């Protein structure tokens, strides 16, 4: 009996420690501008257990710190999809995508090109100063 209790205690302890309260992850999220950045980060941070969410406009990488005891990547991704942004292998619904601002229509090549032009201007301005 004592052996069974010891084994159970070890298993429960292992399961408890297997869930990290400061888990780090990185996921790819589509977007084109600072409005997208705000929307993506807000959706992530409004997910219970997410402590930090930083999305990079150029690389489309969302870096997360979250509590695995309270949430997981699937839940975070579903919140991002709900506000209209595609994640690596999953597209947001057309209804969700339709809610993003016209300048944020990242699936539209014209919008992508317009934002690339803005980035080029910013880079030129930085080099000229």
Contact assessment for residue 62 and residue 44, using Cβ atoms and an 8 Å cutoff: yes
Q: Average per-residue pLDDT in the chain?
A: 84
DSSP character string of 14-66 = HHHHHS-TTEEEEEEB---SHHHHHHHHHHHHTSTTEEEEEE-TTT-EEEEEE
pLDDT digits (tens, 9 = 90+) for 31-88: 999 999 999 999 999 999 999 999 999 999 999 999 999 999 999 999 999 999 999 9
- 49: closest CA among 69, 33, 30, 25? 69
> Mutual orientation of helices 34-45 and 73-82 as an angle, nearest 10°?
130
pLDDT digits (tens, 9 = 90+) for 30-43: 999 999 999 999 99
Domains and CATH numbers, the chain: 19-128 (3.30.70.100)
The model carries a pTM of 0.77
């Amino acid at each position: 009996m004592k052996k069974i209790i010891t084994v159970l205690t070890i298993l429960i302890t292992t399961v408890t420690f297997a869930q990290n309260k400061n888990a780090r992850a990185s996921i790819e999220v589509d977007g084109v501008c600072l409005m997208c950045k705000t929307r993506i980060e807000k959706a992530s941070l409004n997910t219970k257990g997410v402590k930090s969410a930083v999305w990079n406009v150029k690389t489309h990488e969302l870096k997360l710190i979250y509590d695995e005891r309270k949430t997981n990547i699937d839940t975070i991704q579903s919140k991002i999809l709900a506000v209209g942004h595609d994640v690596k292998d999953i597209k947001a619904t057309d209804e969700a995508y339709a809610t993003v601002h016209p300048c944020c229509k990242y699936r539209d090549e014209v919008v992508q090109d317009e934002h690339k032009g803005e980035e080029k201007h910013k880079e030129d301005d930085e080099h000229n100063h």
